[in-house]
Structures are given as structure tokens and as C-alpha cells.
Structure 1
Amino acid sequence: MNAISLINHGFQQVEAYCATHRVAKVQSGPYQICPKCAVNDVETTNQDRQAEVDRMVRDKHFSGAMLPARHANSGFRNYMLDSNNLGQANARSQCVNYTKSIATGVKSNLIMVGSTGVGKTHLACATARTLLNKGLYVRYITSEELAQRIMNAWDKDSKGQSEESVIHDFTQYNLLILDEYGLHDREKRLELIHKVLYARYGAGKPTMLISNFTLAELQKDLGDRLWSRFQHDGLMVVECNWADQRVGGRHV
């Protein structure tokens, strides 16, 4: 029995007709309604409710990603390119391709290196926003913040969280974007960050690692074992070798 039949069933038809659908209306209490109009109203209400649920889920994804406020609207389209800088266009193209691969379920990693102000965080947030819009869970965090999150679990007032549970939490995201790698305290925090990277490798989850190091410096800092694991499922390297774009009011 379809929706219109369900509405007709148990209701008495009246002589009035719906001008839109040209079908007899039925008596529903004090009202005369068109069965087809009623079905459309129900479907529209359901669609509106689903749209609201989808919006709430999307907002929750974006909120949980913790993207920097400055990059709340950073995308691939508004990544400003210098027509004389082919490296910028190549970096954007690589990040676009990486984003597409993650969206299809590929588990490869990406490393992006370059000095300050070259647009690395913009491209990372463009990647995050694209994937978030596709319903994936993405988390942005700096290496300093990540290490501090783990260290906070050592406090007696950590509300039941342990070092292991924090690390586990960071293995759950479809993509982890770890920015400013290398700017953390070298002695106390490097091991903690590496624990998260090892855990994500073990869970088969991709990571985007961003650093002001050169590629050689980054490889040395990660160490042979972690560097090898970063390449296991495929590794894309983006090198941003151009001048600081913030100087002179240029935007990245």
C-alpha cells in the first residue's frame, strides 16, 4: 500500500477536488485535504529534517577538526598563486591530488616542508575542508599542542584520560594534519609525537605532516624506522621552496 493509499484508507472522499492534482479530497476531521498534497508535505518535511541533520553533522565535523580561525575559509580556489612561481601551482596540484586520493580511501601519507609564510597551512586546511565536506573526520593540530595534550593526561585531574587513551583518540581520524613539526620542545615531546605517528601507522591511518625543516632535516628527525613506515603505504612530498608570502601584505 503506497503513501497515497494509506492516506485514502479510512477517510471518506468528498466532492471537492484538488485543482493541482485533480483528485478527490478526503475528509480529515474538520479539514478537506488532497492525498497527493499531504504526501508532498510529508516528503518535504522529511527532506527538511534530513537537511538539518546533515547540516548538524557537517558542523560537528568542522568543529571537531579544530582548524585555525584564520583558515576557516581557506580552500584550493582562494590559494593565491604568483604567475611567476610554478612551485606554488605544483604544490596546490599535489595537495588537490592527495585530497582526492584520501577521499577514495587511499591510506598514503603526505609531507609538506618549507620555510615560514609559504602557504603550507592554507593548503593543509584546504585539504581538511574538502574532506570534511565529504563527511570524513579530519583533525588539525600542531605538534606542540599534540604533545601537550598527551602530557596533560599525566595530571591527576585528567578526568580519567591516560596517555594511551589520548594517543588512541588521535588514531581514529581519517586524516591527521600535524602542523609545525619540529617546533616542539626537543627533549620532552619528540617521543610523544612519534608515538602518535607510530600508532597511526599501526592503525593504517594517513597523516599529513607539515614542517619548516628541509626534507633532509625532517628525515633525520623522524629516524630511519619512522621514515620507512611513512613510505609504506605511499608518500607524497611537497616542497615549498619560495619566499615568505606574508611579507608586503601578500596572503597565503
Structure 2
Amino acid sequence: MTIDAMDWDGAYREDGFFDGPPPWNIGEPQPVIADLIRAGALRSDVLDAGCGRGEVSLALAAANCTVLGVELSDTAVAWARRSAVQRGLSNATFEQADITTFAGHDGRFSSVVDCTLFHALPIDKRDAYLKSVHRAAAVGADYYILVFAKGAYPAEMVSKPNEVDAYELHAAVGRYFDIDFIRPTPILAKVDALPGLPDVVLPFERDSLGRLQFPGYLLHARKSGSGIA
């Protein structure tokens, strides 16, 4: 099975490809995204594209942003909605939808955050995804993407994210948005062994909680008043 054929709902039910919870589910926002939230870099309304169990959305809501999390997995959406109720965060709502065909919120969002969704999309769906996000974003909206860099996973791994280099990321996103920066940044994941490659040791450091720090990129872009609609 390839990443493009991943059973995402199975992954969130914890009976899919992974042994236990999905490794990207670290129980909190990725540190670089948490830093953006603390700095007030994400402005209401926020679209959390591929929100998973909603930790980024919930952190944004706790910081007084109105946020809509969009996720393909029903299981993940149900989890996020329960968490919002438990935390008393009525300004975080969640929608089960395919982000590549997402519609109904044209020009609404002042910020869009993609925390590790981009590399999970089939490469041939990237353009449709970017069109959907561009349509949903307001003029002047900030767009942040956190994505695995090329080389994050071994080439021989059968099912792995569709990693990117900086040029590839710039070329894809730059068709629709004005790129501000692309910079290296780590992505944390709870990984002890790679599926199908139990003897491969990844050459990355772990943080203080034992989470592997994979190489990634943080992109920041803005929607201009011109460009492809």
C-alpha cells in the first residue's frame, strides 16, 4: 500500500497501517505551529486544512481565534468535536470533507494552516487542493504549510509521505500564492520503527520526550488580489 492509498479513517481508529496511534498524532500542535499561535501570526477566521484530531484547531480556539478544521476522516472529526466540547471551545468547529474539493466558504479565511497535510496528498491532487484553499482564503490571507522535506524517509520505504524539496514546494504553491519564505524546520513524530523496515535506524535526533525530529519545511505565503481564482 502507498501513502496515496492510505486508509486514513483506519489510521485514526488505530486499526490501520500503523501499530497504535498515527505517529504524527503527538497530542499537541507541532512546536513551530504552536510558536505561530503564541505569536498571533494566525488571524481569525482560520482554516485548519487536514486538521486530524484537531489539536491545532483547539489551540487556536484557546487563543481566541474562530477556526474551522476540515478533515477527511470521520473518526478524527468526531474526536475533535468531542475535545472541543470537553474544553468548552465553541469557536472551534469541524467539517468532514475532502479538502481537494472543499467549497462553500469562498473568501472567508484570514489565515490557513496546513500542519503536515500537503505531503499526505497524492501528487496529482495537489493542484486541486491549492485551488480549494485559494478559493476559501480572503485577499491578504496568510498561508502556512508544514511539510516533510525530501530525504525524511528512506527511498526504499513502500508507503511514505510525498516529501518535497524547497523548489518543488515553491513551484506548486507559487502558482496561487505569493511566497514569503520557505525555511527548514523539524517535524516531530512518535516513531520507534518504520513500517516494513524494522531494522532501519533513522539518523535524526529525538526531543526531550523521545519524539523523532524529521526534517521538514515551513512555508509562509499570502493570497494577493490577483492570480488564479
- What's the TM-score once normalised by structure 1's chain length? 0.37
- What's the TM-score once normalised by structure 2's chain length? 0.40
Higher relative contact order by CA 8 Å / sep ≥ 6: 1 or 2? 1
Larger Rg: 1
In terms of fraction of residues, the more strand-rich structure is: 2
